[in-house]
């Protein structure tokens, strides 16, 4: 049994990740701004990040929604992620970060460009931290069942992806060293068969050295 901390583990994708890990027999700690119940920890990435939340963890997942306000988005999505990355590097804990598409082309969505830019700085802080990491960039999320996936790199695509499929990818990445040091986008693909994550991860290019 391993122990995982899921930051945003009470959210719609986070809950799916938490459920999968718990069903796999692992201990899961849900880090939330408003923790409820057992196996939860209080964490607000807009404030200080208490390293004790991650003590004893074998893996960290971060799946949080950026604040709308650009300054708050910078605090949470850049500096908050950077703080977690520094703890993960120091304690040698792998991190899977849920990000989004459009990270390299914020001008395509001016209404959220500043949030995307803050998020891009958070991605880069994780890459530069020295922590072992995987960055999963979902396209537009939906709650229908997973129906096959397409994995891409380079952030050029458009589309939608099931939250179930994102959760599957995140959990697979936590256990698969071939996902380490890689960033990829996820899209629904009804044409594809059941994903074989380890083959998909192995085929991806590693990120350039940060």
Ligand X SMILES: NC(=O)c1ccc[n+]([C@@H]2O[C@H](COP(=O)([O-])OP(=O)(O)OC[C@H]3O[C@@H](n4cnc5c(N)ncnc54)[C@H](OP(=O)(O)O)[C@@H]3O)[C@@H](O)[C@H]2O)c1
Residue 27 or 79 having the CB closest to ligand X: 79
Q: Which residues sit at the interface with ligand X, rule CB under 6 A?
A: 7-8, 10-14, 32-34, 43-46, 63-66, 76, 98, 100, 138, 140-141, 163
Residue 59 or 122 having the CB closest to ligand X: 122
The residues near 21 (Cβ < 8 Å, ≥ 6 apart) are 4, 6, 28, 171, 174
Least distance in angstroms from the C-beta of 67 to ligand X:
6
**Which residue sits closest to ligand X, CB atoms considered?**
11
Count of CB atoms within 10 A of residue 181's CB? 18
Q: Regarding beta strands 40-42 and 140-142, do their DSSP bridges make them parallel or antiparallel, or are they unpaired?
A: unpaired
Residue 64 or 165 having the CB closest to ligand X: 64
Least distance in angstroms from the C-beta of 167 to ligand X:
9
Count of CB atoms within 10 A of residue 20's CB? 18
Token duo for residue 145: 């069942």
Tell me if 59 sits within 8 A of 20, measured CB to CB: no
- Tokens 């939860």 -> residue: 40
Residue 11 or 195 having the CB closest to ligand X: 11
């Amino acid at each position: 049994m391993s122990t995982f901390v899921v930051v945003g583990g009470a959210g719609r994708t986070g809950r799916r990740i938490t459920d999968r890990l718990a069903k796999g027999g692992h201990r899961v700690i849900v880090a939330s701004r408003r923790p409820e119940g057992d196996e939860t920890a209080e964490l607000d990435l807009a404030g200080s990040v208490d390293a004790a939340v991650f003590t004893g963890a074998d893996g960290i997942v971060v799946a949080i929604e950026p604040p709308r306000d650009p300054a708050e988005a910078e605090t949470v999505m850049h500096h908050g992620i950077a703080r977690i990355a520094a703890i993960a590097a120091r304690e040698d804990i792998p991190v899977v970060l849920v990000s989004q598409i459009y990270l390299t082309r914020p001008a395509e969505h001016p209404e959220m460009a500043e949030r995307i830019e803050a998020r891009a700085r958070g991605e880069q802080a994780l890459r530069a931290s020295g922590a072992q990491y995987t960055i999963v960039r979902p396209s537009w999320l939906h709650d229908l069942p997973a129906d096959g996936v397409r994995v891409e790199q380079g952030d050029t695509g458009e589309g939608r992806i099931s939250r179930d499929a994102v959760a599957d990818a995140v959990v697979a990445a936590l256990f698969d060293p071939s996902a380490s040091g890689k960033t990829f986008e996820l899209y629904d693909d009804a044409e594809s068969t059941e994903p074989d994550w380890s083959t998909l991860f192995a085929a991806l290019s590693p990120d350039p050295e940060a």
